[in-house]
Amino acid sequence: MVLEEIQEDAGGTLESWNASDMLDDAVKLLGDSGKLGGMEESAYVARRWEDMDTDILVKIVQSSDISQLTSGIACVCSSWRMACCDPLLWKTLDLSVMRSNFIKIPLEPYVYMDARSDNTLTRLLKISLSFSRGNIRTLIFHFNLYVNDDQLTYTAEKGIVYMSFLAITTDQLHFGLCPHLRRLVMPAWDRIKKTGICKAIRIWQDLESLTMPSIANPPYLLEEIANNCKNFSELKVMGRFDYFFAITIIRYLPKIRVLSLRCSILVKDALISILDDLQNLEVLNITHCLLIEIPPPPAPTRIMREFDQSIVEKASRLREFVTCMKDLCIMCQRMRNDEGLLRWYKYEEGLWKADEVSSLSL
């Protein structure tokens, strides 16, 4: 059972986990008067944890991180386990604090993952999806957290999704347990195959927002989104954004309203196509982009330091056109130094989460 696996996976977490810390949180939450719910301190001490009001337990548990939530806390008693399953705790599953232990390799999938990292992620996802009971709306992965197909793919025995602790096995990770996912942030796709992501998109029909890396063949993905995600409206692409990517968006996602290409290599022709043909676009963020112009051969590629007047005029119809190409801007300098492919690992932790568009910022 999952709870047994929690105890096993914790590897001594319950011994090192200090329940008095949670008690301190409860006291702070309810005041330092020495009373709980109007009762004197002596009566408060005599009460059992399982008798505490569920709403209070949920507020206490909200201060815990994902590791504590899926390990020691749920094993205290049945009431605490119930509190750990409260929908308020699972609107967002934020795994941006987790990184894979990996090395880059020259062949597909271009990264080699440490088995321990893979197993840790699988166990955490397995337990989280059980506790969430289908309430996850936002799913966030770290820029260096490499998910594989088995961890992404929806698997249901005989076409049935079992919403219980026994539903998920280690080899069958039920992403179907978050069927109402609206936002996916997954900047690293090196280990994900076409079949895996397409199967997941068919399940996530409520998907509205996606943060993804640049990929060489975007039509298969954007067509899947167009066919299955009718409310899709926001896209953030991290990496190179060329003309082919632009016309693919125009073809499959013509009604998109928000597009962020922040800190990307942006081809001028791609930008012009977006401004000309995405008539429903309201917000475009190209802050800190390395804007390049590719003239006919044999002329070399040219880095643009400012916008043409024609681009400014085309962008004037947008509600928001967010830009920054300043020589003194630190991020713009980093983009030029890194030749347009920002090496996030060199800079401040969590920098990759930033976005000038509030709905895309983490």
Length in residues, the chain: 362
Instruction: Give the pLDDT confidence score for residue 80 in this predicted structure.
Output: 79
Instruction: Give the span between the Cα atoms of 52 and 57, in whole angstroms.
Output: 7
Instruction: Give the pLDDT confidence score for residue 25 in this predicted structure.
Output: 53
- Three-class secondary structure of residue 291 per DSSP: strand
Q: Give the Cβ contact number of residue 158 at 10 Å.
A: 4
Instruction: Give the span between the Cα atoms of 207 and 203, in whole angstroms.
Output: 9
Alpha helical stretches, state H, the chain? 2-10, 13-16, 19-30, 41-46, 54-61, 66-69, 78-84, 115-132, 149-152, 194-203, 219-228, 243-252, 268-277, 309-315, 330-337
Instruction: Give the span between the Cα atoms of 325 and 337, in whole angstroms.
Output: 14
- Three-class secondary structure of residue 290 per DSSP: strand
Q: What is the 3-state secondary structure (H, E, C) of 91-102?
A: CEEEECCCCCCE
CB half-sphere exposure, 68, CA atoms < 13 A = 15
- Three-class secondary structure of residue 50 per DSSP: helix
One pLDDT digit (tens) per residue for the chain, 362 residues: 444 444 444 443 333 445 445 545 554 544 443 444 444 454 455 566 667 777 888 887 787 777 777 777 777 777 778 888 888 888 988 888 766 655 565 666 555 566 777 777 777 777 887 888 888 899 888 776 656 655 565 322 222 233 332 233 323 333 445 788 999 998 777 667 888 888 889 989 999 999 999 998 999 999 999 999 999 999 999 999 999 999 999 999 999 999 999 999 999 999 999 999 999 999 999 999 999 999 988 989 999 999 999 999 999 999 999 999 999 999 999 999 999 888 888 899 889 999 999 999 99
Name residue 252's amino acid.
Answer: Y
Q: Which residue has the tokens 């025995």?
A: 157
Instruction: Give the span between the Cα atoms of 19 and 74, in whole angstroms.
Output: 12
CB half-sphere exposure, 236, CA atoms < 13 A = 25
- Could you tell me the two tokens for 24? 């301190």
User: CA geometry: angle at 206 spanning 238 and 202, to 5°?
Assistant: 80
